[in-house]
Structure 1
Amino acid sequence: MAVKKGFLYNVLLVVAPWLYAGLSRLLFATCRGRVHGAENRARCEAGGKPFVGVFWHYSVFAAVELIRGRGRGWGAMVSASEDGEFVARILARQGVFAVRGSRNRGALSALKGLIGLLRQGYNAAIVGDGSQGPPRVMQAGAILLASKSGAPILPMAVAADRYWAFRSWDRTLLPKPFARLDLWYGEPLMVPKKSGAEEIEQYRQEMEHRLNALYAQAWGKFGKDGHDGA
């Protein structure tokens, strides 16, 4: 539910990012992390150029925590809504530069902002299924960004052995204290520059397939089909 503007809203804008940053660092400090497919990330970084990291929305809390502080800086697309302001400020506290925009509002401006960050050497983080879903259905934003910037797309997936799953459209995941938390990198995808609409759609479908295959592989290691049934 959206938070209405007013005194409480303004107070929360200041307090919430600090509170979340402190609590999340305490929580994730107890988790045992493990990385799979590091060679795929190394392929993206071999040329010294930035890349576009893509993951499903359910893993946004864990993914940001696992990638922040690794290598070059990160930029991320965040919804232009009022609730998105909270997310933007939380990301700022974690060292991630937020560019505001979504599929229905400010998408072109956000895309240009991310291209600018990539040119400055930042990696870009994009939620593949957007801020409203449907869950695990790829949107075209990351494909367009890769086509216009020339940066490779690196699919990512997160899985945990113990976690909470919120009753949201994507069943957002939050690991429980002392959980084992795995980060998976899949095979990078290059999208040709100046790709037309048909090519963009083909690569969108390909990235959706890769992300869902990586998702199944990640959760399969814990003997699960996915995180939905938590």
Structure 2
Amino acid sequence: MSIRKKIADSEAVLNWTARRIASYIRMVNRNTQWQRIGYEELDQLADQGEPVIVVLWHQRLAQSPYFFPLDKGRICSITSSARAGSMVGRVQKLFGMDTIAMTSKNANNIAVSREVIGKIKRGISIGIAADGPRGPERVLSTVPLVWARTSGKRVFGITFSARHGSEAGTWDRLLMPRPWRNQGVFLCREWTENVPRKASEEELETLRLSLEAHMNDITAEADRMVGREPWSPKG
């Protein structure tokens, strides 16, 4: 193993990096004038100990530790076992979130799904960036639909936007808000379609497109509220 890889995989280095990222996230949150819109129903469910499934876009991960009312309930974030996903998990744990790592191996992810359903049964909500961990950008996977079908729990789309910020040169065009004198919005809206327990592949695809459109709609709405140009596909 090369020295560079040893350093990159060092627990001390990884933890130091996670703390620096968490500091940036806290600085953004502290120095931004936020609006929090559409959270009434989610807050009430969290107060009652009723778990939900939270869906977000990978592009809007930078403020994800503030998406869910952690003062009212617990949430488990689904991350990738790859290095970048592992770092997301480390950062989210610093804010008090639970995490589960998925891999590219199907057998492992069957076990993850069982663990997810187990957490839901224990009253823990689940959060997932539904186009992650590698994209394509804003192409929603069926994973949250499968969990909604199995658990019968409600699905909420959550996003954020900020007036001042830049998009990283990553596959998801990660939005990085300016950490001072900023204005932002957290927007939460329930996706109200029902996922039948015996949904066919065709029905599941129709529902997938519906949730994908829901996520794009609320993200575009959040962007417009702070004066950002809404997302458009590459090319």
TM-score of the aligned structures, taking structure 1 as reference length: 0.87
Amino acid at match of 1:199: E
User: Residue 153 of structure 2 corresponds to which residue in structure 1?
Assistant: 151
Partner of 1:76: 77
Residues 28-177 of structure 1 aligned to structure 2 (within 5 Å): 28-42=29-43, 45=46, 48-67=49-68, 69-102=70-103, 106-176=108-178, 177=180
Say which is worse superposed, 198-207 or 138-147, in terms of deviation.
198-207
Contact 1:68–1:95 (CA under 8 A) maintained in structure 2 = no
Whether contact under 8 Å (1:159, 1:181) holds in the other structure is yes
Q: How many residues get paired?
A: 227
Deviation sequence 1:115-163 (CA, Å, 0-9, x none): 1111111111111212111111111111111111111110112111111
Q: Residues 171-190 of structure 1 correspond to what in structure 2 (within 5 A)?
A: 171-176=173-178, 177-189=180-192, 190=194
How many Å separate the matches in 1 of 2:200 and 2:104? Answer: 19
Greater alpha carbon shift after TM alignment, 180-189 vs 61-70? 61-70
Q: Distance in 2 between matches of 1:226 and 1:196?
A: 33
Per mean C-alpha deviation after superposition, the further-off stretch among 123-132 and 185-194 is 185-194
1:35, distance to aligned residue in structure 2 (A): 1.2
Query: Paired residue for 2:25?
Result: 24
Cα distance change of structure 1 residues 139 and 25 upon mapping to structure 2, 3 Å threshold: same
Amino acid corresponding to residue 189 of structure 2 in structure 1: G
2:216 corresponds to 1:212 = yes
| Cα distance change, pair 7–224 in 1 and its aligned pair in 2 (3 A) | closer
**DSSP-derived class of the 2:116 partner:** helix
Change (3 A) 1:194 1:43: farther
Unaligned runs of 5+ in 2: none
Are the structure 2 counterparts of residues 194 and 76 from structure 1 closer, same or farther at C-alpha, using a change threshold of 3 Å? Answer: farther
Judged with a 3 Å threshold, the aligned counterparts in structure 2 of structure 1 residues 97 and 47 are, in CA distance, closer, same or farther, namely: closer
User: Cα 1:43–1:206, aligned 2, differ >3 Å: closer, same or farther?
Assistant: farther
Q: Is the 8 A contact 1:68 1:94 kept in 2?
A: no
The 5 Å alignment of 1:214-229 reads 214-227=218-231
CA drift of 1:197 comes to 2.4
Letter in 1 for 2:75: W
Write the distance in 2 (CA, Å) between the matches of 1:86 and 1:38.
28
C-alpha distance in 2, partners of 1:150/1:19?
A: 38
Assess if the C-alpha contact under 8 Å between 1:76 and 1:114 holds in 2.
Answer: no
| Offset, 1:70 | 4.0
Q: 1:87 to 1:74 in 2, by over 3 A?
A: same
- Tell whether the 8 Å contact from 1:44 to 1:152 is kept in structure 2 after alignment: no
Distance in 1 of aligned mates of 2:103 and 2:208: 17
**Superposition deviation, residue 66 in structure 1:** 3.6
Change (3 A) 1:224 1:104: farther
Residues 148 and 194 of structure 1 are in contact (CA less than 8 Å); yes or no, is this contact kept in structure 2? no
Residues in 2 aligned to 1:32 and 1:149: alpha-carbon distance in whole angstroms = 36
Q: Does residue 45 of structure 2 align to residue 6 of structure 1?
A: no
Q: Which moved more, 1:36-45 or 1:7-16?
A: 36-45
Distance (Å, rounded) in 2 between the aligned partners of 1:155 and 1:14: 30
1:4-38 per-residue CA deviation (whole Å, 9 max, x = no partner) reads 74144213223222222233213321111111122
Alpha-carbon RMSD across the aligned residues, in angstroms, is: 2.5
Q: Structure 2 length normalisation: TM-score?
A: 0.85
Query: What displacement does 1:102 show?
Result: 4.5
- Unpaired runs of 5+ residues, structure 1, are none
**Greater CA drift, 103-112 or 147-156:** 103-112
